[in-house]
Amino acid sequence: MREFFSKIFIDGGDPAETKEADAMLKKAGYHGLDGQTTNPTLIAKRLLNAAAAEVGVGAVRGSPFTAHPSSNCVAVTSSLHTLRDGARKDSPRRALTSAPAPQQITASDASAYYRKTVEEIGRIIPEGQISIQVIGDPAKLTVDEMLSQARDRITWIPNAVIKFPVTKTGLKAAEIFCQEGPVNMTLAFSQEQAAAVYAATKAHNYDVFISPFVGRLDDRGENGMDVVANILEMYRELGDGHVQVLTASVRNVKHILYALWIKSDVITIPFKVFKEWAGQNFTLPPKDFLYDPPTGEAGEPGLTEIEYRELTLDKEWTEYDLFHDLTDVGLTRFWEDWKGIVE
């Protein structure tokens, strides 16, 4: 059986994509997907879209999904307030077709569907590690609230990994929870954040991942793959190997090939990019591979280098500078997207 050095995850929230990606790898002679990172906002959008389909209005405006709900989706959407209220009318059929399109779903409905989706993904890749995110207002979410969510979500499936943000609150929670279950520190953009993650999780009893986001650095003209390479170099030179580097926010096949070439522990790939790579027969980088970052649409110059920093890994995690503006931007954007869907 063929194997990659890196574990291959799919990034998304549609079990149909998980199933198709897993089948593509197996058809090509690989053992299949090693795991998945989930986005609860995309999953909630699928539920909202399914609710709209149930009331006969088609896809929700702005949703990237088509209206073809699974049996799980129908089961959950039947509990939505819009549909439940409509079902009290004289004719269920008339009520469903005349009900207004739902604009939001409740937090309990979103959480229930998130769990059902994760459970379905877990059945498709029962040996794969599946990241489940803690959710809350980044300005208000406390360590105790993160831990409460984590302790609930780790019970959803046997192979759950809990995603915490690389923030002071997130690391405080992860420092505790890494002794109770696997953790994935997400929205990382700097080598110093990676040093803090390493230090905070030294007492781990389970797997620890850090997810540097490549594409969002590329978007503003910085070479996001440099951060992945720098973290790998630092961990391999100074670390004990307990933190796995999970290359995230992958935008193109070049990202995949470079991540494979530098032997990233894990690569999580959006389905669209995964299909493009599959269309190239899961091509591998040659030994003399040279990473040539894509230029902008107007042919702008290449991306700015992010230089390696000489750091140590022997300090307390609180002594490292955790701040990166893209971490804050990412958390704010996620929360705004979530509140746009969930009441």
Residue 279, SS3 per DSSP: helix
Distance (Å, rounded) from C-alpha 88 to C-alpha 92? 7
Which residue, among 334, 131, 68, 87, has the nearest Cα to 342 in the 3D structure?
A: 334
Q: Could you confirm whether 116 is annotated as catalytic? A: no
CA separation for the pair 198, 303 (Å, rounded): 28
DSSP strand pairing (208-212 vs 183-188) = parallel
CB 211 within 8 A of CB 246: yes
Could you give the CA distance from residue 321 to residue 228 in angstroms, rounded to a whole number?
18
As a whole number of Å, the end-to-end CA separation of the chain is 47
C-beta of residue 277 within 8 angstroms of C-beta of residue 256: yes
Dist. CA 268–CA 7, nearest whole Å: 8
Which of 7, 116, 163, 172 is the catalytic position? 163
Using only C-alpha atoms, the chain has a radius of gyration, in whole angstroms, of 21
Three-state secondary structure call for residue 183: strand
**Annotated active-site positions, please?**
163
